[in-house]
A and B are shown apart, each in its own frame.
Chain A
């Protein structure tokens, strides 16, 4: 049994063993093993050239990772907390994202930017943000989010092997909570694919990262009340893999998207629009969104209000069913 944190650690280790060009960069990732211990022990085993404690400067980290990539390395960058990715924003959206396009396709940017994201850990300011839509809105970047240890183990390796730059979102509140059995004999699903994680008949619930667990918990409760929820883990936010979603919605006729990020212009808006375009005649109700409010992430003792929890999700399910 393995936690999500340990699974990422094992996946990173595997990627580093498989490819000597993989280099990890970040603040406190060396001797400390990162503030979440995701890189625990890696510097000891792979050395300071491959697990690099950087000066305290995010633009510096991502910008120098661009240079390393140009030189043939595969940088895997750790941003310590979601809220601290913004000093690197220019490097990510102007440099990393556009390199392949600007070089007429001659140069790829095989970089992974790991970001512990989202809230629910009672943290101080800037430590609970969900910036995924900002990156998914940027052509040239790919964005994925893992939700469980098994996916984490495979997805991080697939992301590192991918030739394109990937923003890799890790639900920090699940790092050390749930464990899963990692069976290496079971092959992974492709990186850019969504996955049905619970079959159901009445309403399709779409989630990713930390809200997959919320959705599964809601489905368990709903079942007792006689409602059957189908839960899909989107896993990839850019590109989206919506074929399984369309197939599901054509059956259920109802969809609810749930994420922690602000609702306005969040991933849910895009997903809702696409479902409407593809499944209009199957829909019994509008696609509903349950998300963080359009406010900054609140102080820890108010975060329960902000976070879409089981009740708010089930409330939306009810509204969908009674539309």
Chain B
């Protein structure tokens, strides 16, 4: 098994690794940084919107930008992603409108983007369930002959995202078994952010998570989840292996949840601020900025423009979230089945009639 993959240190120094290399130039690195910065702003805006009562809840990704943007940017258009509820950075990379993500957390819908068009499934809140869906999707890819053809526009990989806590679920372990059994073209991307709400990693596993893969019969690799060059390189390699018919890979992106589990959580009840301070030194954006600046790959202008773009994004989100259309009672009934039953239609109509009795009445 490979050793811990780090290609850019927290200080912003490039590192060699025997198995992995990031081959992009300064343009690409600036572009990766840009996505991380915008995603961080998106996340901060969402947290603020929740505080202002515009969202019911928010699950912050702060600290996990490199893991998510690295994994998201390594994808090809035809690849398909199965996220948890925290993959806002991957959603961003797949071109999902952040307002659609906010709409879910505002309580308007359960996800309004088109999973097929975006190659990005809906968020899954039931821990681990999506890992099996990813494997099944990958089995479909195999049956469609979209693996190992050598055609870069055809060969397809599937990604299942989940957290460290999720690795305890039966569904995730069953997904490992199925993927190995069929050599499905799937990449298991586990963001080990060290916590599952209040429970530390040690509650879930006594060995590093990536080493679990070996027991299931496929490779596992542990990557510095705060190093976007490494998460990109490792994901790209695993995706390519899957597309070529090499079977599944487990990637453990070793990172940290800098924020609360969600906006209703109070992490001071269970973890020490020292730990958070320690991880601040490993910030995923700071190291790229240091690298870009030190090597003269990005000027003050670049960062100023990016700051302005982030401000514009923030403004768009703040204004847009308040304008999102409210759900209607009809949607409640009309979205249950592909073909609504007469029984349910009658229930809908009765509710319509009931609501009509209030019209004109002072309520």
Contacts and interface: CB of A to CB of B under 8 A. Distances in A.
Given A31-B269, A125-B110, A57 B203 contact: no
Given A28-B197, A294-B347, A299 B108 contact: yes
B259 to A, nearest CB: 16
Contact of A122 (B107, B197, B199, B203): B107
Question: Size range of the interface on A?
Answer: 35 or more
Given A32-B198, A126-B126, A296-B336, A56 B204 contact: yes
Interface stretch (A67-75, A150-158, A301-309): A301-309
A315 B354 CA distance: 9
Interface string A284-323: 0000000001111011111101100001100100000000
Interface in A52-105: 53-57, 59-60, 83-84, 86-87
B208 to A, nearest CB: 16
Given A56-B165, A59-B170, A299 B198 contact: no
Contacts of A30: 198
A35 interface: yes
Contacts of A87: 126, 169-171
B204 to A, nearest CB: 5
Interface string B247-283: 0000000000000000011000110000000000000
Contacts of B204: 55-56
Contacts of A35: 197, 264-265
B77 interface: no
Given A125-B110, A299-B110, A315-B354, A57 B169 contact: yes
Contacts of B196: 27, 56
Interface stretch (B12-20, B137-145, B327-335): B327-335
A293 B170 contact: no
B170 A124 contact: no
Question: Size range of the interface on B?
Answer: 35 or more
Nearest to A83: B126
A55 B203 contact: yes
Nearest to B341: A294
B332 A305 contact: yes
Contacts of B105: 124
Contacts of B127: 56, 84
Contact of A124 (B57, B169, B269, B329): B57
Contact of B203 (A53, A301, A306): A53
Contacts of A295: 332-333, 335-336, 344
A302 B125 contact: no
Residue among A60, A83, A302 facing the most chain B CB atoms (10 A cut-off):
A302
B106 interface: yes
A33 to B, nearest CB: 8
B197 A27 contact: yes
B354 A312 contact: yes
Contacts of A294: 336, 343-344, 347
B56 interface: yes
B56 A124 contact: yes
A123 interface: yes
B61 interface: no
Contacts of A55: 165, 168, 199, 203-204
A60 B107 contact: no
Residue among A54, A56, A87 facing the most chain B CB atoms (10 A cut-off):
A56
A40 B343 CA distance: 46
Nearest to B168: A55
Interface string B179-219: 00000000000000000111100011000000000000000
Contacts of B333: 293, 295
Contacts of B344: 294-295
A301 B110 contact: no
A167 to B, nearest CB: 19
Contacts of A56: 127, 165-166, 168-169, 196, 199, 204
Contacts of B351: 293, 305
Nearest to B165: A56
B151 interface: no
A60 B173 CA distance: 12
Nearest to B331: A302
B97 interface: no
B109 interface: yes
Given A32-B270, A55-B168, A315-B354, A302 B197 contact: no
A9 to B, nearest CB: 15
A116 to B, nearest CB: 13
A60 B110 CA distance: 28
Nearest to B109: A299
Contacts of A31: 198, 269-270
B354 A299 contact: no
A57 B347 contact: no
Residue among A27, A123, A299 facing the most chain B CB atoms (10 A cut-off):
A299
Contact of B107 (A54, A84, A124): A124
In the A-B complex, the 3 residue pairs with the smallest Cβ-Cβ separation, listed nearest first, are A300-B107, A32-B198, A55-B168
29 contacts: A27-B196, A27-B197, A27-B199, A28-B198, A30-B198, A32-B197, A32-B270, A35-B197, A55-B203, A55-B204, A56-B165, A86-B126, A87-B170, A123-B57, A124-B56, A124-B85, A124-B125, A293-B333, A295-B333, A299-B104, A299-B108, A300-B56, A301-B327, A302-B327, A302-B328, A302-B331, A302-B332, A305-B332, A305-B351
Interface of B: 56-57, 85, 104-110, 125-127, 165-166, 168-171, 196-199, 203-204, 264-265, 269-270, 326-329, 331-333, 335-336, 343-344, 347, 351, 354, 357-358
